[in-house]
Structure 1
């Protein structure tokens, strides 16, 4: 086994690549759907529940998440306005 000498290590290239990776990671985290966009964390149950920061009554079923929107409430999903259930 040999010890690599300092002159053989590209420290500048490593630092530059790590900084590029770190900037991209921060951009993803700060993006519209990134972790930093989270305003609340609520565990859903089968019983519908309302939350201050979202319209509708939210619940979890065997088929997935359900939201019941009252009159005048709406959500936008993939550019499509959703009303009702």
Structure 2
């Protein structure tokens, strides 16, 4: 039904959508961890927890974006062909 390039595009779009749905949940959990007084005593926990949303954001967007990019690139004809727009 779909070729692999179309599946890469669909996977990239779904990855971005899942990222946008997952991110508020992750932020809520991180806020709970930072608000817990018992966990505040651990050395470096606050720094690691504050960096975690950016790691999640960059990782999911990089993976989804690359999948989307290679799906579109493959659908246009691959390596050696020039684009019709050029």
TM surpasses 0.5: no
TM-score with structure 1 setting the length: 0.31
Between the two structures, name the one with larger relative contact order (CA 8 Å, sep ≥ 6): 2
Structure with greater proportional helix content = 2
Structure 1 or 2: larger strand share?
A: 1
**Length-normalised TM-score, structure 2:** 0.31
Q: Which has the larger radius of gyration?
A: 1
